[in-house]
Amino acid sequence: MELKPALEAVLMVVDEPATEEHLAKVLERPRREVADALRELADEYDVQGRGFQLRLVAGGWRYYTRPEYAQAVESFVLDGQQARLTQAALETLAVVAYRQPVSRSRVSAVRGVNCDGVMRTLLQRGLVEEAGAEPETGAILYRTTNYFLERMGLRGLDELPELAPFLPEAEAIEAETQEGVPSFDPDAPDAPDSEHADDKTEL
């Protein structure tokens, strides 16, 4: 088999980014040869101005719609329906991304509102996952997933936008809200009964 057409055929059916190691194993070719072929394909698509791109994201390769044609694809797939995260979900996801691993109570403290419902939504969508427990409290910690990187188009967390200009303000907000939000994390040992939870729960 010719390598490039074989790579194209495989990448057309993957449901998550495929690593160079996996592709090399499947096609029984040296990893370096596969890596070079992938980069050549990506360059060829760019030069030809195709409606799709071959990109290295979250440690693997996958086809993506070229950004300038995203509106056409969105119109076709969603048929005018919106399928986006709410503002609350986006804010919660941002806190997890920049402070991970982090407990739900810490996320709630930063935002100043109970985030349990939003966290459950992010877990169900596969954007965050459990990452062990906090030694001091036993509360479950959370981090972003490879699927998050894939959806954001990032190779790794080091490609997240610089947050330094906003850190002082974020730290001040957390300091002001920490005492008012003792524990919204139901996984923490001393978490309040759900029937008596703060009325500020955000769904």
* pLDDT digits 0-9 by tens, 137-185: 888 999 999 989 988 888 898 888 876 555 444 444 444 444 444 334 4
Query: Facing residues of 129 across strands?
Result: 143
Both 96 and 158 in one domain: the answer is yes
Domain count within the chain = 2
171 located within any domain: yes
81 located within any domain: no
In this predicted model, what pLDDT tens digit does every residue of 36-82 receive, in sequence order? 999 999 999 999 999 999 999 989 999 999 999 988 887 776 654 44
Both 25 and 115 in one domain: the answer is no
Residue 156 sits at the vertex; the CA angle it makes with 138 and 54, to the nearest 5 degrees, is 140
Task: Find the range with the poorest average confidence among 44-58, 94-108, 186-200.
Answer: 186-200
- Statement: residue 201 has pLDDT above 80: no
Residue whose C-alpha is closest to residue 141's, from 106, 180, 170: 106
Chosen domain end from 76, 98, 117: 76
**Alpha carbon distance 6, 129 (integer Å):** 34
Q: What is the pLDDT of residue 18?
A: 95
Q: What is the pLDDT of residue 73?
A: 82
In this predicted model, what pLDDT tens digit does every residue of 102-142 receive, in sequence order? 999 899 898 888 888 899 889 988 899 999 998 888 889 99
Give the burial string for 146-167 (b: 16+ CB within 10 Å, else e).
Answer: bbbbbbbebeeeeeeeeeeeee
Q: Which residue has the higher pLDDT, 48 or 198?
A: 48
Its domain, for residue 62, covers 3-76
Residue whose C-alpha is closest to residue 186's, from 176, 175, 177, 198: 198
Both 65 and 131 in one domain: the answer is no
Contact between 135 and 103 under an 8 Å Cβ cutoff? The reply is no
How many CA atoms, within 13 angstroms, populate the side-chain half-sphere of residue 177? 19
For the domain that residue 51 is a member of, what is the CATH number?
1.10.10.10
Residue 134, amino acid: E
Both 48 and 113 in one domain: the answer is no
Both 119 and 38 in one domain: the answer is no
Is the pTM above the cut of 0.75? no
Q: Which residue has the higher pLDDT, 189 or 13?
A: 13
202 located within any domain: no
Both 119 and 167 in one domain: the answer is yes
Q: What is the pLDDT of residue 160?
A: 87
